[in-house]
Amino acid sequence: KCPPLEACFNLMDFESAAQTALSPEAWAYYSSGSDDEISLRDNRAAFQRIWLRPRVMVNVLNVDISTHILGHPASLPLYISATALGRLGHPDGEIALTRGAATTAIPQMLPTLASCSLKEMTDARADGQVQFYQLYVAQDRDHTARLIRAAEDRGCKGLFITVDAPQLGRREKDMRMKFIEEAPKEQDDSTAGRNEGAARAISSFIHPGLAWEDIPWFRSITRMPIILKGIQCGEDAVKAAHAGVDGIVLSNHGGRQMDTAPSGIEALAESVAALSAAGVPPGQMELYMDGGVRRGSDIFKALALGATAVGIGRPLLYAMSAYGSDGVVRAIRILQDELIMTMRLMGTPTVQDIQPGHVNARMVSVH
Ligand code: FNR
């Protein structure tokens, strides 16, 4: 049985609670990384290689962790990243995340392959709550266009196009479970079949032909800002800037795609250096990262290295699975408390005060 919610003091506690609460199939799908899970492990390890450089004697009586993400207010530099199949973990599925995000005032990215329909997820939105849409580009262009228009019509404020998954990574833990009972629900008119196993349904949906030349097409059908999710090196960050997108997410998809791809935090450091070398003005494109964010100090490190905010996946799936939306709220509150403490001990009263000089990133490889 799960420990009481009050016994969860950090994000790792939710992981062990979820392992107790989840079916073996759901645990395998949520927790797995690809191949040898080297990138999955390094998402955590990379943060631990970065040391902080605290500044003292700064008035930190009042610490303000709030910020803006794509121009929308957020109570801290954090958003919920898209994770497929929420109902494997909890009957409320993605809606439990929507409620948790509303209570804590952070944006939520809705997955194309959610268990809940787009209508259910957007109807669950509170007044003023911000949702983005994560897009898997389907083989069928008209279908993809309909998904994008539906997201925009239903009030989503940003289009995060997943670019690191032209084929699904091999997640062996998941494969050993043979198949997962619950396939994604039809997304309005999704081609992902209800009765196929999750991995097969997802694979058949994704189009491996997506390329840089397609960016103007996306621009032609939506007014939402366009963000590429899953950039993994400086060269591609520069290409994204030249393609004129509004933002990128440095991410290895939670270690579930190309194993031994760099962690998001390292790809962020490399990308900031590459963008600067290429003469891209800072601020032309917003930078985000995800993968392995588990502590307020991790968020601080990402901001110091140039991110506007960070995304989080598994910890909130685990919190939701074990405790529903109350768990999601507690997990986010823990990160808020940790970030306030970090900023106080670092001598940075606002997020604007966080600078590269607050970290020693020597141990992070820059290509
Ligand atoms: C994901 N992720 C993901 N990303 C995406 O673009 N579309 C998707 O459908 C999914 N689905 C998904 C399912 C599960 C179970 C996980 C764990 C992850 C990746 C996700 O958006 C994010 O990049 C990572 O989860 C971030 O790493 P952490 O926070 O899980 O370490």
Q: How far is the CA of 222 from the centre of ligand 1 (A)?
A: 24
Query: Do 15 and 318 form a contact (C-beta atoms < 8 A)?
Result: yes
Point out the catalytic residue in the list 29, 133, 136, 318: 136
| Distance (Å, whole) CA 243 – CA 254 | 25
The answer, yes or no, to whether any atom of ligand 1 lies below 6 A from the CB of 321, is no
pLDDT for position 367: 58
Q: Which helix (H) or strand (E) holds 11?
A: helix 11-21
pLDDT for position 36: 96
Q: Averaged over 61-75, what is the pLDDT?
A: 98
The answer, yes or no, to whether any atom of ligand 1 lies below 6 A from the CB of 293, is yes
| Distance (Å, whole) CA 239 – CA 253 | 20
pLDDT for position 206: 84
| Distance (Å, whole) CA 314 – CA 329 | 14
Query: Do 79 and 342 form a contact (C-beta atoms < 8 A)?
Result: no
Instruction: For 299-337, write each residue's pLDDT tens digit.
Output: 999 999 999 999 999 999 999 999 999 999 999 999 999
Q: Which of 5, 11, 30, 3 is nearest to 335 (CA)?
A: 11
Ligand 1, atom 2, residue with closest C-alpha: 83
Query: Do 264 and 39 form a contact (C-beta atoms < 8 A)?
Result: no
Q: Residue 330 has which token pair? A: 């507690």
pLDDT for position 192: 41
- pLDDT(8) > 70: yes
The answer, yes or no, to whether any atom of ligand 1 lies below 6 A from the CB of 232, is no
Q: Which residue has the tokens 């079949």?
A: 193
CA distances to 9, 13, 37, 333 from 6, in Å: 7, 10, 31, 12
Helix (H/G/I), strand (E/B), else coil: 350 = strand
253 among known catalytic residues: yes
DSSP string covering 255-278: GTSSTTPPPHHHHHHHHHHHHHHT
pLDDT for position 193: 40
Instruction: For 147-180, write each residue's pLDDT tens digit.
Output: 999 999 999 999 999 999 998 998 888 888 855 5
The answer, yes or no, to whether any atom of ligand 1 lies below 6 A from the CB of 134, is yes
Q: Residue 277 has which token pair? A: 């070398």
Between 232 and 192, name the one with better pLDDT. Answer: 232
